[in-house]
Each structure stands twice: as C-alpha cells, then as structure tokens.
Structure 1
C-alpha cells in the first residue's frame, strides 16, 4: 500500500501534505523533512487517531489527515528504542491486521517528581539521550503564554536562530476515529529511500570517523549528560509554538534539559511510548525512523568534538535568511566549474571543499547531488586517476605531488560520504546507484585498496605519526599520516555503502541491491584481506593503546569499523573464516568488553549502540557456524 516516493524534487508524493508543510515550516526545516506516512497513532495524548507522522532529521511530527495543524511529538535526542512489534491489533479489521506494521517508539520525557512517583512500573532512564546543556532558564511571558528561554548553543545551520524554529502550530484536540471507521481505513503510504554519514577534514582529519583526538574528552562515565545538536532544546515533546506573525511559527523556549535535571530535584525522567500503526507491508517508514535516529546519534557524538563543532558555528553577524533558490544556484555553479576539463588539482580541491562545506550545512545540496549521476561519476573517475596509484608517472617519485593527490582524494571521499549520509529517503540516490552500478563497484575497489606512495618513503612508527601534525613532519612522515587518514576516511565511506546494501536486504530497493552481492564482490577482491587486517589492527590499537578516552570522532570510527566486521562475519563465509582464524588471539586478549568500557565514555550518544554492536561482533566470532551466505 505504501509506494516508493516518486523521483522528483523534493522526493515526496502527497501534494496536499507537502504544500501544507512548505507553508507552515521554515524553509530550512521543510528541506530537512525526510519522509511521512499515514498511520493510526496511540500515545499518552492520542487515542487511536488517524494522522500523518512526519520525520525530519531531528524531530518526529504529527499532523492531522488531512493536515490542519502540526506539532512535534518526539525529539530524536530523547529516543531510547524504536521497535517493530509483531502483533494483531484488535481495533483493526481482519485484513488490515495481516498487513499492519506496529512501530513502537520509546522515548524519555521529563516530568515533576511527584507525578513520576504516582506512575507505577516506570523505569528510570539511566543513560538519557539529551545532548544539550541548559546554561540558564528564563521565564518569558508573551500574550499570556509562558515559555522557557535558554542560552543558544552552537548551531549546525548557517542561520542558527531560524533553525531553532522547527515550527508547528499548537495541536488542536485530535478527533478520535470511531472503531467502525478504523476498520475501513485504507492508508496510502508515502515511501522513500534512506542515507548515511560523514564529517570534515579540518575538524576530524577525515570522515566522521577519522579525526585525531584533539584532547582527552572532558566527560567521563558518570558525569554530566552530553552536549549535542542544538536544535532540540525542549525535552517535553509537546511544547507549544508561538506565532511570529509571518505565517510561520517560532519556538521560543528551552526547557528541562540534562543539567537542569541534575540541579532540580523536583524533575525526573520517565519513559513514554508512541505507537504507530501503518496499514501497509511495503511502507519503509520504520527503516527511515531507525536510520534517522542512528544518523542523529552519530552527528550528536561528533559535535562533542570542539573542532568538528566549530565548522558548523557561523561567524557572528554572518547569519542570512535561508533561501532554497540560492542553494540551488550555488550548487549549479559549483557543479559547472568542477566538471571543466582544464581544472588543476588545486582548483578541484578548492571546489570540492566548498561543495562539502555547503552540503554539511544545507541538506538540499545532497538532494541536488543525487538528482543526476554525472557528479557522482565525475568524482569516482577522479579518484581512479590517483588511486591506488597515480596515472601521472611523475608522481611515482615526487613526494610533494603525491601528498597533494592524497589530500584531494581524501576530500573527495569525505564529500561522497557526506552525500551518502542521511539521503536514504531520496529515490534519486537509489536510481543513480542502480544506473551506475559499475561506478559503485569501482568505488568499492578503491576504498579497500591501499594507496601507493613513492618507494623511497621509509616506514615510521604509526603511533608517532598519528599523534603528530602535518606542519611539523617531514614529507615521508606526512605521506604515512595521509595513508592513515585515507584508511579512516575510506572506512567511513565503506560503512555508508554497506548501509545501502543492507537496506536493500530489508526492503529498500531489494531488487537492485543485496548485501550478499556486495560481500561476494568484496571477497573476490584480493585487497580486502589487507583492508580487514588494517581494521582489526586499528580496533586493537584503539582499545589497548592507553587508558585515554576515545575522542568523539574516534568513537564514531570504532562503531563503523565494528559494523564492517559484523557484516563480513554475517554475510561472507570466506571473510568470516579469515577473521576467526587469523585474529583469534586478538579477540581473546585485546578485543573484549572491559577494554571497550575503559575507552568509551557513557556521555557519548554513540556509546550504547557501539556496546551492543561490539557484543554482537564478539558473539559472531565465537560462533563458527551460522554464517549467512
């Protein structure tokens, strides 16, 4: 019943709802909407109401069907779990029960302590997913309404104040669907397709994963809750919005955040549930919810790195009104300049960096990237000019030229990783990858192949190279450091591509992608053995090098490395046997849970998912059978 979104721009299928969202949300918030789906909603404030769930990169909204008003239901930072429940709801008619998808979203909410004491059977939320700290609370009265105001933290968007205005109108009393009407409901789902992660070079020295540790993380296992994405400053999920008089709605306030919880003994956490019943077997909203939540966790972790976060902090006074038309024009200009034949390597590097920075701040550029396949093909072909070895014979003995080529390649890989991340809901991405499957497999070969450098370069101590900066190193050491950075960047991008095939297995474009295809291809490529060996060695080094906590970027990289290992153990008998046979001792003496707990702070949002993934990898290593071929 749920049909894939049409390949247009934007990639959404319900014209009436789309027009409503465009009218009631600020442009930057509207452009960040990932998917929507009609469903029956059950929660503390909803009793079997027929509504649309609207998913953005940070919030889950609810709006009537047809839409009249819109309100935020859950912030992704508050989500504890998203599960698909196998049941047969009695309020649905018999045919609808068979095709129903029951999605349960468990999230933390803040309440008065007395209220919490009255509720029975509520588990206290021990590791909350609030990523911001309240610096101050200010009561503001406006037209008789009271709002909480707080200090504005750094924003991901170039117009930070506007990005806090993820707007909606106060929800009116929802009309309950009579049970007789519910049995007759036939919900038409708006499908879509999903996407994935990447950061930046100046901040993390590679993709979201790379990044050298700028300093020892200030948070420890049981300290304050982490700072994170600044856009969701309201903990209660149903806080009203205030009209700004321009047809849009402005959220004025901060609310009950992590640090205020610790200082206010009258506030307490409890877990609440939002239930969505989607009458469709083909709807992909469950996968999009899980994907957006994971993307949010990764980005919130990376933002705890001061250098990474600084890239999203616009200079004072530089905020400009967000206009989609300007972003589209900017992308078209960059694209036309990039594909010019006479561009020098330095010119290409500057243009790619500009594209990456723009895409980091504006999701609309990611949509434009996948709208056609020419830029994707151009970047992969450019990589093939320099990797694994340079086509320019002069670079074989020229260390400076080879270093410049590697810097450009790392920037291209980061940009590609950024374009993959969070774009799974874009049908144009799947169409491009399906049409350019040969280009995609060429990219896979590049990612697992170690770049060649001039033979005169001696080998240096890897730890000394990793801890040094490029400015204070010889060219030989610089090349070695660039190789390490390239490997981390390639790992992050390979993780993104793995997600594409994994989602294909789960129903998103399954006729075009399957994880078994990718694993069959990878195990046929000789460089994969060396690549997996480097991943295992990096995991060992990360868990055993010292007692210093992992930096946010390194923590994300560890998650991506473990995900790749898990995929190989699950879906390739050949690669699984190689990992088990050749690295049995590493998993026995170095890669174990106590080592992980010492290096990974609980204040990182990525810690819980990494711990779970780590446990799954260890279990697969121990179980020598049960490999999915």
Structure 2
C-alpha cells in the first residue's frame, strides 16, 4: 500500500477500498496504512468470512467485502506471536488449498470474557483451526490461481457458500455501537483538555480521570482532583480483576502474490522498537511531531507538497560542491531530526536516490578514506560517520512498502547496497591519532582514549542498528518468489564475507550481548539498551542461521561465554516487563543459546 506523490495508493490498489478508507479515516490514519489484502478470517466469533485486512503502523483493522465499516481488531502492543501455519484448510479446494497462506496471530486481551462484547470474542461453535505439523507445505509465498467465490464453507448450518459480492451486511460485522468497538469514521468525543489517544500509551480504564463523571464535578460528587486520585486507586485495585487471556486471529491470504505475513512481521518489529524507544523522554521529545501535540497546541499537519519542497531545499544544500564539514554535520542533523518526525520525508528520501548515494559516499570517505592512509580513526571521522549511519537507519524505518527503496538498493545487481554494507563495517579495535611531544601524548592519552572509545562505541551501536535494518530487508526478500529473491540475508552476508574486519565486528556485537546480560551490568536496561540488545540478537541469529563461517566463528569463540554468562533467567530480570520489546528479545536469546550448543 505504498503511495504516489499525491498521497493516493498505487495502481494495484482496490479502488473501492481506497476510496472508503480515504473518506472514513482521518488523514493521520490513512497516511500510515501499510497494506490491505483480502483474506478469509477466522476468530472466536468469525467463522470463515471473506474480508479485507487493513494494516497500519500500530494496529490491524478488519472491514467487510465490500467495505462498510472499519473496526480495529487488535493493537500490535497486544501481539504475542505472528506465525505461518503449515496446514491445508478444508474449506478450500484444488491449488488454492495447497498454496493458501495461513497466518495465525496470537494476542492478549484484557476485557472480561462476556458474550457480545468483543468482535473477536470466543464462539464455541465456530471451531478454530489447529496447528498442523509441517509436512505438505514447501512454500509460504502463495500463487493463488482461483477465486474463493463458490467454495463451500463449513459452518454450524451445514453447507454454505462464500460470495464475494454479497449485497447484505456481512455476518462478521454486527452493529459496532452495540459491540463497543472503535469505529474510525466517528471517533468518541473527548473533553478539550484530554490528550488524544496514542498507540504507545496504555489503554484508558473506564475509571480513569478521562471519564466525564470524574472530570466534571456534579452535585454529590467528589472534586476533580480527589476524584482523579480515587480513580487511580480504583484502577490499581481492579487490575487484578481483569481477565487477561490469549486469543487468536487466523488469516488465510487469498491474493495471488500475498505479502501480508511480511507486512505483519515488519510492522510488528517497527512497532515494538518505536514504542519501546518512546518510553525514553529524550527520544520522545526528538520524535514528537505536530500531530503528537496536545489538541490546544497542535500545529497544522504539513502537506505532502510542502514536505517535498522542504526536502528539495535541504537536498540541494547537502549536494552543493565545496560544502564544509561543519555545514554538512549541521544539515545532516536537521535531516535526521526531520526524518524522525515525518514518514513522508523518509519516502521522499528513497524516491530521490541522490541523497542516499551521497550519504554512502560520505561514509566511505569519512570512515575508510582517511583511515586507510593514516591507519587511525579521528574524532571528527567518528562523529560524522555515526551521524551518517544514524540518518540512514532512520530512513529505513516504516518504509518497507516504499517500492523506490527496493528499486534503489537492488539496481545494478545491488551495487549501492553492497557499498553501504562494506562501508558500514569497521575495525572495533580502537586506534587513535595522538600528535605532539611524548610528554603531551602521555598527559592526554587517557582522556583521548576515553573520548575515542566512547565515540567508537557509539558508531558500532549505530552500525548494528543499520545492519539490522538491512537484514530485515533481506528477510522480506528471502520469503518472496525467486525473481525477487535478490537482496536476501544470505546475499548480504556473502557480500560482507571478504571484509577484513567482519569477524571482529561480529565478535564485538556478540561480546556486547554477553556483557549486557551478565551479572556485571546494571540491573535494568533502558529503552535504548533494550532495543539495541534486540537488534544485536537478530544480527547474531542471522549469522548462525545463514552463514556457516560466521556460525563456526561464533561457536568457536563465544560458546563458553554464552553458556556460563548468558542465562534466560538473568535476561528476564534485566529486560523490564513494560518494554514491548522484552518478550521478543527473550525468544531471540533462547534461539541463540540453542544454536550455540
């Protein structure tokens, strides 16, 4: 669901669905829609109904076919697992039955189990599908050649048929007002002083201060401030009374070239990273956009045309000849900050292409050009290289559905991607440039080493984040058809294989995982540390799974360290439970420990 310059969806869109979403969603919601695909949906109350799945940055919506209402199914904050199920659905026939892509999403719900209160609530007669051991499926990239119209659907009434163009209301969508569900065209009204809902904030309890009964004193009621304190106490007391349980949503992708699973995985990864980082006040202030401001102080949203104009101005300043290092550094800081706050600018970055090529060239010259002559790193080189790598990493965020990104990186057999990968890796062993007399060098050596070590460590952290984004790109390519299987994870690691500092770079990342999870470090990880640990674990797991030489190196040099110093129990203590990224990180640590045995 990538967009053209005017903000509309690409030519492969469903025109009727696109028009419906444009009319009935706010602009901020519509602009962050990543993908829409038709699926057969099965949940605890929906039994094999053909619907559209609408995927945004923070949640999944369901709408009928044809669309009439848009209802939030779940938020990515509640997701516990997204997996492919290797089975043969009994309600499909022929090749569709063999090639259909079955996605199972497990999420947590807090609402008490009462009938008729949740669209995805349990219906005991609806018979949920069971996971089947992988046996008859060899590909998770379906090429469906037939339509579902006319296929029999098993239900409690016997033989029914699924019609794609049924004029009556779908059985999966009762009156949304009766269900208490979020309906995008008519959001609930709020008092002017109440901030808008944020997907990264915890859900508001009915007893929270945002309730009108507690915010507006009436005769016989307690004052607002006392009511707010009372509401917090009552909310704390009723937490234990909530019934938190797991629920499942099953999606059977029926499009000819479905990438819904890839979009779900990348959206989930992006969400847990962003929501974890937003727990840090510094990062939250850096990323705060005009739409995140309180209603009374909210600035008007910047249009696509205005964003394109500002990006063109900034690009021309960056690409001018003879720019000084100081001016370059300041302009890159401005570009990085703007990219944090504006997704449209990130899309424009990939569509222009010139700025990306310029950043890769700058990284090559800054980190490796001068260093290859003198054999040392300088503080200026490290500072500029870190900023370039951080800027590139930001540009990868939430741009998975931008076709220009893949086109740019895969052009000329991945020439630009290869340059970016090779320029990214550096020697983690510190080499500093100290000039002057022996006495001056002796006096300043300690301070210089500490400074340079900190700068080099910051660069290595940024390099790991960018390499993580490239590996995500490779994971998406690895699951697609052979024609698109160019920038795969295996290809990325093969490109890096000849680099003389690759094993030491990977060794540094492994050593950092050991240090963070050992008993020698601080008891709790900050949001940034949690995200970095997740990214390092994904990098190590890719090395263990896709490259034999790197896997052998990790087993030879780090097997004992992981065996004696990395414990899942210790990792659980260090990863705060309120960090959305904690549970996925623990699963990665468990996989790494298993592969290193």
TM interval, short-chain normalised: 0.7 to 0.9
Question: Does 2:571 match 1:604?
Answer: no
Choose from 286, 298, 305 the match for 1:311.
286
Shift of the 104–483 alpha-carbon distance from structure 1 to 2, 3 Å rule, reads same
> What is the match of residue 422 of structure 2?
445
Matches within 5 A, 1:140-539: 179=153, 238-241=181-184, 243=186, 255-256=204-205, 262-264=236-238, 266-280=241-255, 282-313=257-288, 319-322=298-301, 323-390=303-370, 402-435=378-411, 437-450=414-427, 454-456=432-434, 474-507=447-480, 510-539=484-513
Counterpart for residue 18 of structure 2:
18
Asked whether the 8 Å contact 1:84–1:101 carries over to 2, the reply is: yes
2:517 to 496, 520, 543: 543
> Is 1:5–1:427's contact at 8 Å kept on the other side of the alignment?
yes
Q: Which has the higher contact order (CA 8 A, sep 6+)?
A: 1
- Report the 3-state secondary structure (helix = DSSP H, G, I; strand = E; otherwise coil) of the residue aligned with 2:287: coil
Which structure's CA Rg is the greater one?
2
Matches within 5 A, 1:83-94: 83-94=83-94
For the aligned residues, what is the CA RMSD?
3.6
**Contact residue 44 and residue 123 of structure 2 kept, 8 A:** no
Cα deviation for residue 391 of structure 1 reads 7.3
Q: Report how far residue 182 of structure 1 moved.
A: 5.1
* TM-score where L is the length of structure 1: 0.71
Decide whether the 8 Å contact of 1:241 with 1:252 is kept in 2.
no
Instruction: Report the count of equivalent residues.
Output: 494
Q: Distance in 2 between matches of 1:363 and 1:546?
A: 36
TM-score, with structure 2 as normaliser: 0.74
Quote how far apart the aligned CAs of 1:482 are: 0.6
Structure 1 residues 114 and 261: alpha-carbon distance in aligned structure 2, compared to 1, 3 A threshold: farther
Q: SS where residue 390 of structure 1 aligns?
A: helix
Change (3 A) 1:324 1:237: farther
Query: Residues 501-527 of structure 1: CA distance to partner in whole angstroms, max 9, x if unpaired?
Result: 122111176332222222222222211
Give the conservation status (yes or no) of the 8 Å contact 1:417–1:492: yes
Aligned match of 1:573: 548
Determine the C-alpha separation between the residues in 1 that align with 2:93 and 2:502: 51
Q: Are 1:92 and 1:183, in contact at CA under 8 Å, matched by a contact in 2?
A: no
Structure 2 portions without partners, runs of 5+: 125-149, 154-158, 166-178, 198-202, 209-231, 437-445
Structure (1 or 2) with the greater helix fraction: 2
Between 547-556 and 39-48, the greater mean CA deviation after superposition: 39-48
Distance (whole Å) between structure 2 residues aligned to residue 543 and residue 589 of structure 1? 11
CA displacement at 1:413 relative to structure 2: 0.7
Q: Is the 8 A contact 1:359 1:365 kept in 2?
A: yes
CA distance in 1, matches of 2:592, 2:563: 13
Corresponding residue for 1:66? 66
**Residues 51 and 65 of structure 1 are in contact (CA less than 8 Å); yes or no, is this contact kept in structure 2?**
yes
Q: How far does residue 615 in structure 1 lie from its aligned partner after superposition?
A: 1.0
Contact 1:40–1:277 (CA<8 Å) still a contact in 2?
yes
Comparing 20-29 with 9-18, which one deviates more in the overlay?
Answer: 9-18
